[in-house]
């Protein structure tokens, strides 16, 4: 199906995929181990019937099953849109392909082939049962599921670092003052980041100086695992304290919990250690329109002497947040 073609309903497939992206993003903080899959059901007349997302921390039910259960008999003859190829295996639940067949769904449109060998084969199984199966690649839905895909492909979570800096790149002034460099609007935006990840990580240094809660202060938001890394003794109730500077221990702990996406909120020392090990995959930089001229830099000397050795990033988007500018970067590895 080409972009812009309307199939017996008010929305194009790309528009429905955008709706799936919104559902997927809202579910991402609820998913450990598993992908943040979303599904939407339209009936035979092309009318919206039901939607669902996988929220592993609440239920094992896959997105397709959540949406189809809600749709009931209205799914008969209809179309199921799903961000990931439906699974064909019995794992924590039975195969979604069986539930789809029983639902009477006539058409399945999915955006990403399942890279998980034990779960794959769903598209073929549905075709064999006489269901029309359409694969339409979606960069938007690949992006929303990138943390899980990254973990499947790399054996560790996607790591995003968030920093709040002045125009000249400082996170605190010479006298140590750091509250608040960025605006209230930016700080609220950070709450939404925390709500979308499985873990928020900081260093003992930042923990002692800032006493951050690292919790998303948003009603009904999922609670990320909170991790403090470093040798110093801290009283961190509700946090996991990894009393070591060994970053392998951090990765091991994140993997043990099945974290797809971790957010690092720390000062320059810890961030530089991660950066030196090439463990930062994305950056979210909030830049306030302030200049200090001196203070603590957000990143330390990385031992890079020449421009040709610079660590490369690409921008995924720039946004005005109140008086500040937020830029989202992705590491470019050649």
For 89-127, give one letter per residue: b (16+ CB within 10 A) or e.
beeeeebbbebbbebbbebbbbbbebebeebbbbbebbe
- Binding segment for Zn ion among 62-70, 143-151, 225-233, 240-248 (CB under 5 A)? 62-70
Task: Please say which residue, 61 or 282, places its beta carbon nearer to Zn ion.
Answer: 61
Structure tokens belonging to residue 257: 């919990």
Nearest to 83 by CA among 30, 28, 152, 35: 35
Q: Which residues bind ligand AOF (CB under 6 A)?
A: 34-35, 37, 54, 60, 62-64, 84, 87, 91-93, 96, 114, 116, 119
Please identify which of the residues 64, 144, 205, 265 carries the catalytic annotation.
Answer: 64
Q: Which of 96, 111, 190, 274 binds Zn ion (CB under 5 A)?
A: 96
- Report d(CA 263, CA 199) in Å as an integer: 6
Structure tokens belonging to residue 270: 């810890």
Contact yes or no for 198/256 (Cβ under 8 A): no
In the residue annotation, 205 being an active-site residue is answered as no
Minimum distance from CB of 231 to ligand AOF (Å)? 36
Q: ∠ CA 298-299-302 to the nearest 5 degrees? A: 175
Residue 54 touching Zn ion (CB under 5 A): no
Residues that contact Zn ion, how many (by CB under 5 A): 3
Minimum distance from CB of 15 to ligand AOF (Å)? 21
- Report d(CA 67, CA 80) in Å as an integer: 9
Task: Please say which residue, 46 or 115, places its beta carbon nearer to Zn ion.
Answer: 115
Task: Please say which residue, 6 or 127, places its beta carbon nearer to Zn ion.
Answer: 127
274 binds, among Zn ion, ligand AOF, none (CB under 5 to 8 A by kind): none
| Active-site amino acid positions | 64
């Amino acid at each position: 199906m080409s972009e812009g073609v309307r199939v017996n309903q008010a929305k194009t497939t790309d528009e429905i995929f955008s709706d799936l992206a919104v559902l997927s993003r809202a579910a991402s903080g609820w998913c450990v181990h598993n992908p943040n899959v979303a599904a939407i059901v339209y009936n035979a007349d092309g009318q919206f019937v039901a939607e669902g997302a996988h929220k592993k921390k609440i239920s094992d039910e896959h997105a397709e099953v959540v949406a189809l259960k809600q749709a009931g008999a209205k799914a008969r003859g209809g179309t199921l849109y799903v961000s990931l190829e439906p699974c064909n295996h019995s794992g924590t639940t039975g195969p979604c392909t069986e539930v789809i067949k029983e639902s009477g769904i006539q058409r399945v449109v999915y955006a990403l082939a399942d890279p998980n060998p034990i779960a794959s084969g769903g598209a073929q199984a549905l075709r064999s049962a006489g269901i029309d199966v359409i694969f339409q690649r979606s960069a938007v839905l690949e992006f929303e599921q990138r943390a899980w895909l990254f973990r499947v492909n790399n054996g560790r979570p996607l790591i995003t670092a968030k920093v709040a800096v002045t125009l000249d790149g400082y996170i605190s002034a010479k006298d140590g003052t750091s509250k608040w460099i960025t605006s209230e609007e930016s700080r609220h935006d950070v709450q939404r980041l925390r709500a979308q990840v499985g873990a928020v990580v900081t260093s003992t240094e930042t923990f002692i100086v800032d006493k951050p809660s690292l919790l998303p202060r948003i009603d009904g938001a999922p609670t990320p695992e909170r991790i403090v890394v470093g040798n110093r003794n801290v009283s961190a109730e509700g946090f996991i304290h990894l009393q070591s500077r060994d970053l392998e221990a951090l990765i091991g702990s994140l993997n043990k919990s099945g974290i797809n996406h971790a957010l690092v909120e720390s000062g320059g020392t810890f961030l530089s250690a991660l950066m030196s090990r090439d463990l930062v995959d994305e950056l979210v930089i909030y830049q306030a329109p302030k200049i200090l001229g001196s203070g603590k830099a957000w990143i330390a000397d990385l031992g890079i002497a020449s421009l040709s050795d610079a660590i490369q990033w690409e921008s995924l988007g720039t946004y005005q947040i109140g008086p500040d500018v937020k830029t989202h970067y992705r590491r470019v590895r050649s």
